[in-house]
């Protein structure tokens, strides 16, 4: 979002760049989207109090156009200038940043276990490797964690890894 005065721009190059972006339709003028009474449109009043102009604008990237709720000027703000305070209201939803972690152990192709030969080889390898597994020397525990540690010893060689689309 950029606030600027097109007629009184400090740098002519910056002024030119801002208006070319409006012409290229990458930015929109926020004040032109909403209907307001004239007192809420004009952002500058001359010292005589009669002449008023709309010379301050709010430029918004087109990506954020639907988030822009309102743009108007407030006359009563004490800002020490002959310009009125321009206020833009946005409605933005915050989302949780989720990191996609790949499988620590990729899923096995369990459909191959339906074949009797593959199933037999898997069972033999599973039980032979589970006897030599270090955590099984003491009292055996039936936990999910121990089964997850045992499955790769027999599953990855016989069943293979399930391919993800």
Position 5 scores a pLDDT of 53
pLDDT > 70? residue 146: no
- Which of 90, 120, 145 marks a domain boundary? 90
Distance, CA of 92 to CA of 42 (rounded, Å): 27
pLDDT, tens digit, 9 for 90 and up, residues 24-69: 677 777 777 777 777 667 777 788 878 877 777 777 888 877 888 8
Asked if residue 134 and residue 68 are part of one domain, the reply reads: no
Asked if residue 99 and residue 86 are part of one domain, the reply reads: no
pLDDT, tens digit, 9 for 90 and up, residues 69-109: 888 777 777 677 777 878 888 888 888 888 877 666 666 67
Asked if residue 83 and residue 11 are part of one domain, the reply reads: yes
- Which of 74, 90, 106 marks a domain boundary? 90
Closest C-alpha to 121, from 82, 158, 150, 74:
158
Asked if residue 29 and residue 83 are part of one domain, the reply reads: yes
Position 117 scores a pLDDT of 85
Domain extent for 66: 2-90
Asked if residue 9 and residue 85 are part of one domain, the reply reads: yes
**CA-CA distances (angstroms) from residue 68 to 58, 75, 131?**
11, 21, 65
Asked if residue 59 and residue 35 are part of one domain, the reply reads: yes
Q: How far is CA 45 from the centre of its chain?
A: 41
Asked if residue 6 and residue 77 are part of one domain, the reply reads: yes
- Which of 90, 117, 144 marks a domain boundary? 90
Give the DSSP H or E segment for 60.
strand 57-61
Distance, CA of 152 to CA of 160 (rounded, Å): 10
Distance, CA of 41 to CA of 114 (rounded, Å): 74
Asked if residue 48 and residue 22 are part of one domain, the reply reads: yes
Asked if residue 67 and residue 105 are part of one domain, the reply reads: no
Q: To 10 degrees, what angle do helices 144-158 and 116-131 make?
A: 130
Owner of token pair 């989302």: 95
Total of domains in the chain: 2
Distance, CA of 44 to CA of 49 (rounded, Å): 10
Q: Residue 122 — pLDDT band, cuts 50, 70, 90?
A: confident
């Amino acid at each position: 979002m950029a606030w600027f005065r097109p007629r009184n721009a400090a740098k002519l190059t910056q002024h030119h760049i801002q208006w070319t972006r409006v012409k290229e339709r990458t930015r929109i003028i926020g004040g032109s989207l909403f209907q307001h009474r004239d007192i809420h449109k004009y952002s500058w009043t001359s010292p005589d109090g009669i002449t008023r102009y709309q010379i301050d604008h709010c430029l918004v990237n087109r990506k954020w156009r639907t988030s822009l709720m309102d743009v108007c000027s407030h006359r009563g703000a004490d800002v020490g200038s002959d310009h009125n305070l321009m206020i833009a209201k946005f409605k933005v939803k915050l989302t949780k940043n989720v990191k996609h972690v790949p499988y620590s152990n990729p899923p096995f192709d369990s459909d191959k276990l339906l074949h009797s030969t593959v199933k037999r080889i898997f069972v033999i390898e599973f039980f032979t490797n589970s006897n030599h597994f270090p955590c099984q020397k003491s009292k055996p525990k039936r936990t999910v964690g121990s089964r997850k540690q045992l499955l790769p010893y027999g599953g990855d060689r016989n069943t293979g890894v399930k391919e993800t689309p």
